[in-house]
Amino acid sequence: MPNGYWGKIIFVNLSIGQIEVEQPPEEIYRRYLGGYGLGVHYLYQRIPANADPLGPENVLAFLPGLLTGSGAQFSGRFMVAARSPLTGAWGDANCGGNFGPALRGAGYDGLFISGQAKKPVYLFVDGEKTEIKDASHLWGLDIRQTEETLHEEIGLQAKVACIGPAGERLSLISGIVNDDGRLAARCGLGAVMGSKKLKAVVARGRSRLPTNSLSLASPKAFKDASTGYLPLFRRKPSTMSARVPAFMGFLLPIIRRLRGQLSGGPAEMVVDSYKRYGTSAGTAMLVELGDTPVRNWSGIGFRDFPLELSEGLSDRAVVRPMVKPYACHSCPVACGGIVNQPDGGTSHKSEYETLAAFGPLLMNSDLGTVMRCNHVCNMSGLDSISAGVVVAFALDCAEKGWLPPELAVELPLEWGSGEVILELTQRIAARTPGLGDWLADGVQRAAERLGPEAQPYAIHSGGQELAMHRGIYEPGVAVGYALDPAPGRHTASNSGNANLAAFAPYFALLGRKPAARYDYAEKGVTQAIAMSLYRAFDSLGLCQFALAMGQPPFLAWLNAATGWGVDEAEFYRIGRRIQVMRHAFNARHGLPAQFPLLGHERGDPPQTLGPVANRTLDMDAIATGYFATLGLDPLTGLPLPETVKELGLEIVPSP
């Protein structure tokens, strides 16, 4: 029996009701680990070129990482992958919660679903059987109703990943939800699930795999690595972290005038901040310093959404209604939270991306409105980033008089109007005819219905709405938006982490140092290295936030689990192989090697005020370094012959 993984994956064809279990050889795991590493190996070969993303030939994969559910800190993540209907490109979405460990605890390393059912179904997976079961009674239910119904039928120990009404109605900005509101949100994969008439996947398995017959090569080494990392999280939190927001209120205007950048900090402070506030700790800071987009990318934070507004969507204000903290599986931080909703009931706490997308992006400073919109997205299964961006586009078009008459009269669309923002979000979630249906497939398709003057105000890359971080503030983010095979996502590059201690040995190994902020020639090189490391790290099933919290012993965990003896050079090579294969997937489907960024995001024309004034990104210089470092042809995205040989990718053609 292998060490550290089951060596079993499930293939389901819903069209014919076929369920098969395959046993990949150890070589596949060592080359790709788990998660979307394992996913890209199979999806590249099993999704025919130019397959319809909403057709039966597309394959939807649920992919725990190689360490998911192992008991290592932060090992609660899973990945969903398929060809994206939003972009047509490689699509993946990362998610926490408890579903991933349950799927892996059922005895499988992955689940691949093709075909289309004739009526609504759900999949039930446990350690004894996999079944396709009728879901007609679940179709039309929201996320909470679906989970509650399945728990009544199967038991609370079962974990559910499901779609809501948005995914059922094939909204291209819909995601897949577990734990009552934790979303695998990006790339429109909820629509893929909806197109297959697959309402849910239900997994029942033990939560900690070492107690469920999965053998580890060295249980003692695994435990020692976890024990050595644990003291960082068992300290008594510093009282300083509670004082930081008030202190930053005085400091931020000074940093802004100096055009400074804040990132990370001592590991203890980062941990304490996440424990207290989660990602909401950064809202006011990022608005003030120019990272957060304001007024559909045309505003300037300190001028149009000043601190007296942004502080109401940040740190202390956001956690004030919190009932209890929420932690994903095996997380020692619990950066999430359950809050009392303004209108009664409870929901997940709004995090930074949602606070920004329904806050400064829409010129809305009312936290209650953000919380209500967040709950709508969670219950319907909408990507809150994309939802906020399409609402911003609608507000912009209404102000400029570009809406067709039949849409213009539906709602009094105005910046900052909480009542209207909530109503429009609800209509998008329900795909209500008119404005709701027009916006439910994202800004690119919405803009196509209007004249050419509207195109520059539909902010996306490759069809996917950009996240709430600006490339002109940190150019490394723009690399993820424009050059990653799944465009438009900040987590593809998370560029600030390139400077963290966890990645330092890898840059030293390659004889490089992370690039300076606006060193465009080196920025592409830095991000090619960092993004390769992310691909391997994500494929372990670990949370990216861990990288800002000391030095998580991910390599020690990997080797203690498998006994492979992977060193830094091999780990980087694995990540690079995964990233190259994701590019090759796009080339196979006729997609370009890179996706254009619209002028507002490139700084063209540049802003005239603020900390990012007079900045215009040199994306050509960035792209040159990025493709050269990965060993890809910059026109096709295919690996060069020497890259094919080095990474052992003979199944991929060279340009």
pLDDT tens by residue, 119-154: 999 999 998 899 999 999 999 999 999 999 999 999
Name residue 402's amino acid: W
**Are the beta carbons of 106 and 98 closer than 8 angstroms?**
no
Number of C-alpha atoms within 13 angstroms, CB side, residue 409? 2
Going 73 to 7 to 584 to 52, the CA torsion angle's sign is negative
Rounded Cα gap, residues 352 and 216, in angstroms: 37
Q: What is the mean pLDDT of the chain?
A: 94
Q: What is the CATH number of the domain that holds 14?
A: 3.60.9.10
pLDDT tens by residue, 198-254: 999 999 986 444 444 578 999 999 999 999 999 999 988 777 666 777 667 777 777
Worst-scoring range by mean pLDDT, 253-262, 422-431, 511-520, 522-531? 253-262
Give percent of the chain above pLDDT 70. Answer: 97
Do residues 206 and 238 share a domain? no
Do residues 275 and 422 share a domain? yes
Do residues 175 and 256 share a domain? no
Residues near 517 by Cβ (< 8 Å), separated by ≥ 6?
A: 261, 474, 475
Rounded Cα gap, residues 349 and 341, in angstroms: 9
Taking each helix axis as running N to C, give the angle between helix 418-430 and helix 384-400, from 0 to 180 degrees, rounded to the nearest 10.
Answer: 120
Q: Give burial (CB, 10 Å; 0-12/13-18/19+) of 40.
A: buried
- Supply the DSSP symbol for 413: -
Q: Give burial (CB, 10 Å; 0-12/13-18/19+) of 56.
A: middle
What's the confidence (pLDDT) of residue 265?
A: 74
Q: Residue 314 above 90 pLDDT?
A: yes
Residue 483 lies in a domain: no
Query: How many angstroms separate the first and last alpha carbons of the chain?
Result: 40
Do residues 503 and 458 share a domain? no
Do residues 276 and 199 share a domain? no
Pairing relationship of beta strands 336-340 and 322-326 according to DSSP bridges = antiparallel
Residue 518 lies in a domain: yes
- Tell me which of 465, 487, 521 is where a domain ends: 465
Number of structural domains (the chain) is 3
What's the confidence (pLDDT) of residue 211?
A: 41
* Phi–psi pair at 82, nearest 5 degrees: -175, 180
Residue 223 lies in a domain: no
Cα torsion through 587, 593, 595, 597, rounded to 10 = 170
Mean pLDDT to the nearest integer, 261-274: 83
Name residue 486's amino acid: A
Q: Give burial (CB, 10 Å; 0-12/13-18/19+) of 34.
A: buried
- Which of the four pLDDT bands, split at 50, 70 and 90, describes residue 263? low
Structural domain boundaries enclosing 532 = 499-605+613-647
What's the confidence (pLDDT) of residue 214?
A: 73
Mean pLDDT to the nearest integer, 498-502: 89
Q: Residue 642 above 50 pLDDT?
A: yes
Do residues 198 and 291 share a domain? no
Mean pLDDT to the nearest integer, 408-432: 97
Do residues 201 and 240 share a domain? no
Residue 65 lies in a domain: yes
Q: What is the CATH number of the domain that holds 347?
A: 1.10.569.10
Do residues 457 and 565 share a domain? no
Mean pLDDT to the nearest integer, 73-85: 98
Do residues 204 and 238 share a domain? no
What's the confidence (pLDDT) of residue 266?
A: 86
Q: What is the CATH number of the domain that holds 543?
A: 1.10.599.10
**Are the beta carbons of 539 and 33 closer than 8 angstroms?**
yes
pLDDT tens by residue, 353-398: 999 999 999 999 999 999 999 999 999 999 999 999 999 999 999 9
Strand stretches in 163-305, DSSP E: 176-178, 182-184, 198-204
Do residues 250 and 207 share a domain? no
Residue 653 lies in a domain: no
Residue 492 lies in a domain: no
pLDDT tens by residue, 601-639: 999 999 999 999 999 999 999 999 999 999 999 999 999
Please name the residue that has the structure tokens 């579903």. 99
**Are the beta carbons of 472 and 617 closer than 8 angstroms?**
yes
**Are the beta carbons of 537 and 607 closer than 8 angstroms?**
no
Residue 195 lies in a domain: yes
Structure tokens, 561: 């689990």
Do residues 304 and 414 share a domain? yes
What's the confidence (pLDDT) of residue 451?
A: 86
Which ranges of 409-474 would DSSP assign to H, the alpha helix?
Answer: 418-430, 435-439, 443-448
Do residues 272 and 191 share a domain? no
Residue 482 lies in a domain: no
